[in-house]
Amino acid sequence: MTQTNWPELIVRVKATDCDKAADLCEPFCGSGLMIEDLSDLVEGVKRIAHIDLIDEDLLEKDRNHSAIHLYFDTPVARAEAKEQLSFALQEAGILAFLEENEVHQEDWVDVWKQYYHPRMIGEKLLLCPSWELEEPKEGVVRMVLDPGMAFGTGSHETTRLCMELLQTLPLEGGRMLDVGCGSGILAICALLLGAKSAVGCDIDPLAVQTAAENAARNGFADRSSFVCGSLTQGIEGKYEVICANIVADVVMMLLPDVEKFLTPGGTFIASGILDIRFDEVKKAAEEVGLKLDVVRKDGCWIAFSARF
Report domain extents, the chain. Answer: 4-106, 154-307
Q: How far apart are CA 143 and CA 154, in angstroms?
A: 11
Tens of pLDDT along 59-81? Answer: 455 557 888 988 888 888 888 88
Q: Indicate the range of 28-37, 205-214, 246-255 predicted with least confidence.
A: 28-37
Element containing residue 216 per DSSP (H, E): helix 205-217
By 3-state DSSP, what share of the chain in percent is helix, strand and coil, each rounded to 5? 35, 30, 35
How would residue 156 be classed by pLDDT, with cut points 50, 70 and 90?
confident
pLDDT band (50, 70, 90) for residue 84: confident
Residue 56's pLDDT band, with cuts at 50, 70 and 90, is very low
Contact assessment for residue 85 and residue 98, using Cβ atoms and an 8 Å cutoff? yes
CATH dotted code for 4-106: 3.30.70.120
Domain 154-307, second-level architecture? 3-Layer(aba) Sandwich (3.40)
Can you tell me the distance from the alpha carbon of 142 to that of 7, in angstroms, rounded to the nearest whole number? 43
- Is the pTM value of this prediction over 0.85? no
